[in-house]
Structure 1
Amino acid sequence: MKLLSNRWLGKGTAVMLAATLLLAGCSGAGQSGNAANNAGKTDNAATSKGSNATENGQNTAPAGKPFEGKSITLVTANHPWGDAVKPLIPEFEAATGMKVNVQSYFEDQLTQKLTVQFTAGSETPDVFMYRPLQEGKLFFKNGWTAALDDYVGKNPDYDFADLSESAVGSAKVDGKLAGIPIITEQEILYYRKDLLEQAGIAVPKTIDELAAAAKQLHDPGKEIYGFVARGQRSPLVTQVSSFLYSEGGDFTNGETATINTPEAVKAFTTYGTLLKDYGPPGVLNMSWPQAIGIFAQGKVAFYTDANSIYKNATDPEKSQIADKVGFAKFPAGAAGSKPYNITSWGLAMNAKAVDKEAAWAFIEWATSKEIVLKTQQLGNPGARSSVWNNPEGTTGFPAEMVSVIKESVQGGVDHDRPTVINVGEARDAVGEIVQKVITGETDVQKVADQANAALQKIIDSEKSK
């Protein structure tokens, strides 16, 4: 709250904010409403005194709240971050005088609702959750989201530089900041500690070591499979990306498609072969719920995917191997270990919001060090380095995973799919290559050349947009 008091508030309200924070800190996030109520009483008293002073002929303004009487609409996805931040909002309302009207939708409904409202030129919602790498470019290119570059440096206490560089990169479009990261993800390696110990196998540090270990542990007769990951055409793209970067490739180079380079073909072949030779039956139909589901059943030795879904493997109510799961940094390829380090969810501002200062005030608060600490303690991986380096900020994650996350952030890549407007078509083009490998295609280069031409066509069609 220091960032709010320094930027907008007078001394009287700053004192009130300090009291609010103290009460909230003592009572816990679940009792934030009590703190807000107490803060509201303090402010009401101050306002009453200010009114009396005016009536006595003095021109003394109330010890005010900077956005008294104003309101904004916040739209969130039905997501753990939304669940974590909602109980904290009364603190913000009590401090600023602003009313925050919250609406929540399922992921697909959210995108549809936002698209309809923005197409119609709606001034609401003022602030909304969005997926920077999925619809961020579409929203920004259409003029639906406001660039935030001029806002982030106004208040030194906000400390924009504290946000992970690659996470911020995910939220940029054409060099402009289209949103602020709230949830980050890195691809990591999940593994069965017990199986590796029994076989005397060290945790793989390279992709070649991963392939060798998967082969050694693969025993389908006992329903133990060496490797699992997403095999569905579109979902697999985000996870094969770390293989691609670690081999020295990428989806594009500027406005040139590069999914048929030697590095790309090697990466796609490796990923597809791991699933073809050492994966469980049905991998072609697996997205992350199915893949981590079979891993949690104790049937797979290695699994690569986002760190954010780890509880599906460590929660005893969901997993048969909850106490046997290990976490490791993504294994290195020819170019080293280069997992994606992305913003999976961010907060953005409607370009047509009537009161952009009020909208930014909420975004600044919701992504401040204090609030990120509180939401991250509930298992929502944020983008602030200071919070990850704070022992209190890592209590919601296994200790082994924390060290993996910190390593992965260093040198992580800021995207996990082609950065185009028509993301769905682009993902289908890339995913087709891997699926052909899984089904036994031998001329992978030919398939990659065809897919590359399809991706280039998408890129070219968007150049004028």
Structure 2
Amino acid sequence: MRLQTTLALAAAFALAGAAHADTELVIATVNNGHMIEMQKLTKYFEQANPGVKVKWVTLEEGVLRQRVTTDIATKGGQFDIMTIGMYETPIWGKKGWLQELKPDAAYDVDDLLPAMRNGLSVDGKLYAAPFYGESSMLMYRKDLADKAGVQLGDHPTWTQVKDLAAKIHDPKNGVYGICLRGKPGWGDNMAFITTLANTYGGQWFDAGWKPQLESKPWKDATNFYVDLLKNYGPPGSSANSFNEILALFNAGKCGMWVDATIAASFVSDPKQSKVADKVAFAQAPTAVTPKGANWLWAWALAIPSGSKKVPEAQKFISWATSKDYIALVGKTNGWATVPTGTRKSTYENADFLKAAKFAPAEKAAIDSANPNDSTLPKSPYVGVQFAAIPEFQAIGIAVGQQMSAALAGKTSVDAALKASQTAADREMKKAGYYK
């Protein structure tokens, strides 16, 4: 009898073990500060949801994109939740590769900032929930502008920015007028350069999907960019991306910087920045049109359509992108460290507004970015600093290399744009957009 009882108990434990294994959520994510913080706080989710265990696969951004793209395209089923962006979400949602998200009423989907919700939806259906969101804006040294006798309003023009860069550029004393991305990549230098081309009245593709890289707006924007950095930027700009410029800015070496709004929390943090008390914020500069002058991005959580654990995955995503999660981070680590750019309620929170002097400028930038209407001539694609089509990744990488070469003086702007047009044309023809 005792043996039978022992066997029965062993069987019960085995079943429990199997059930337990069934509720392990495997999440692929990017290796950045906000995501690492989420991993530390996951214990609170597990405590509230006994029987559900979370396993993290943390990857560098480029590797993450490769792994999740391969997994979802081959229906590999490695991941129950993926961290993806605004580029992938509309493409994969349309292909039926993602589960539609249907959070409950307590989640308050209407609290999501409209730009974020729209950018992660297809035909009004939400396919990814924003964990943190960003636009781009101008961060500048107010002390240097005051010394030069220049007042920048909330909506500066690129002409005003160039004039101020010339006045505050002082390389002998280690201060460069302006720092901008130059490192090649579709999400690197091309994120910035696309917004510049947009505000000059340009677009990636016309209504018939023909690339427009040799158009007047692209020529004007690229010449302006190269001249600006050659005259008033730091040496080696063609190798600089977000992290390199953040280090320069925090060391007091950049007079101005146009980049992701997420940078504002770092440059205004006295623990990280020597110039924290001297920084002011404005909207991304404009040229011919305000359309598409500032980008829009979100790192978001999504469920691949092949997942066998949709209810548990939905539960985790609802927790990690909720008002309660933001409050948990605020309480645990301080309100200046919460993931921003996702919810209206964050920008109505007195604790957050007190800790984040950049908050009004950040929200204004996000609210003004419209991925469905980001260019002066009508475009057939969705996206501000990218076109949400599968071919864009390869095109953006090729063009980014040409732009970086022009900035480094290895080729002329005209030659770089001609080579870019040829590369884009080849990809679009190959994909069957036109003959």
- Distance in 2 (CA, whole Å) between partners of 1:272 and 1:174 is 39
Alpha carbons of structure 1 residues 221 and 335: separation in structure 2 relative to 1, 3 Å? same
Partner of 2:9: none
Alpha carbons of structure 1 residues 259 and 310: separation in structure 2 relative to 1, 3 Å? same
Alignment partner of 1:190 is 2:128: no
| Paired residue secondary structure (1:228) | coil
Give the TM-score, by structure 1 length.
0.74
Partner amino acid, structure 1, of 2:120: A
**Aligned mate of 1:224, from 170, 175, 178:** 175
Give how far 1:165 is off: 2.9
Partner of 1:430: 399
Partner amino acid, structure 1, of 2:385: D
Conservation of the 8 A alpha-carbon contact between 1:217 and 1:225 = yes
Give how far 1:84 is off: 3.2
Give how far 1:174 is off: 8.3
Give how far 1:142 is off: 7.0
**Aligned mate of 2:199, from 246, 257, 265:** 246
- Distance in 2 (CA, whole Å) between partners of 1:348 and 1:110 is 14
Partner of 2:53: 100
Q: Which has the higher contact order (CA 8 A, sep 6+)?
A: 2
Give how far 1:345 is off: 0.8
Give how far 1:262 is off: 2.2
- Distance in 2 (CA, whole Å) between partners of 1:317 and 1:286 is 23
Give how far 1:349 is off: 0.3
Give how far 1:207 is off: 0.8
Alpha carbons of structure 1 residues 289 and 71: separation in structure 2 relative to 1, 3 Å? closer
Percent identity (aligned): 24
Partner of 1:114: 68
Alignment partner of 1:384 is 2:343: yes
Alignment partner of 1:332 is 2:286: yes
| Paired residue secondary structure (1:189) | strand
Alpha carbons of structure 1 residues 118 and 84: separation in structure 2 relative to 1, 3 Å? same
Alpha carbons of structure 1 residues 210 and 140: separation in structure 2 relative to 1, 3 Å? same
| Paired residue secondary structure (2:160) | helix
Alpha carbons of structure 1 residues 375 and 142: separation in structure 2 relative to 1, 3 Å? farther
**Aligned mate of 1:233, from 181, 184, 192:** 184
Conservation of the 8 A alpha-carbon contact between 2:179 and 2:254 = yes
Conservation of the 8 A alpha-carbon contact between 2:284 and 2:294 = no
- Distance in 2 (CA, whole Å) between partners of 1:459 and 1:157 is 44
User: Structure 2: where are the runs of 5+ without partners?
Assistant: 1-19, 372-383
Alpha carbons of structure 1 residues 101 and 441: separation in structure 2 relative to 1, 3 Å? closer
Conservation of the 8 A alpha-carbon contact between 2:296 and 2:385 = yes
Alignment partner of 1:349 is 2:303: yes
Conservation of the 8 A alpha-carbon contact between 2:183 and 2:240 = yes
Alpha carbons of structure 1 residues 117 and 336: separation in structure 2 relative to 1, 3 Å? closer
Give how far 1:185 is off: 1.3
Alpha carbons of structure 1 residues 109 and 440: separation in structure 2 relative to 1, 3 Å? closer
Alignment partner of 1:309 is 2:263: yes
Alignment partner of 1:209 is 2:160: yes
Give the TM-score, by structure 2 length.
0.78
- Distance in 1 (CA, whole Å) between partners of 2:386 and 2:245 is 19
How many pairs are equivalent?
391
Q: Deviations over 1:228-283 (max 9, x none)?
A: 11112222111123222222323234533233332232222222221111111111
Give how far 1:442 is off: 9.5
- Distance in 2 (CA, whole Å) between partners of 1:363 and 1:70 is 15
- Distance in 2 (CA, whole Å) between partners of 1:220 and 1:84 is 38
- Distance in 1 (CA, whole Å) between partners of 2:29 and 2:408 is 39
| CA RMSD, 1 decimal | 3.2
- Distance in 1 (CA, whole Å) between partners of 2:32 and 2:370 is 24
| Paired residue secondary structure (1:226) | coil
- Distance in 1 (CA, whole Å) between partners of 2:313 and 2:224 is 46
Q: Deviations over 1:102-147 (max 9, x none)?
A: 21313244334434544664334211212332x556755776x414
Conservation of the 8 A alpha-carbon contact between 2:182 and 2:238 = yes
Partner of 2:237: 283
Alignment partner of 1:179 is 2:132: no
Alignment partner of 1:271 is 2:208: no
**Aligned mate of 2:364, from 407, 416, 437:** 407
- Distance in 1 (CA, whole Å) between partners of 2:28 and 2:200 is 39
Partner amino acid, structure 2, of 1:404: A
Alpha carbons of structure 1 residues 441 and 307: separation in structure 2 relative to 1, 3 Å? same
Alignment partner of 1:417 is 2:386: yes
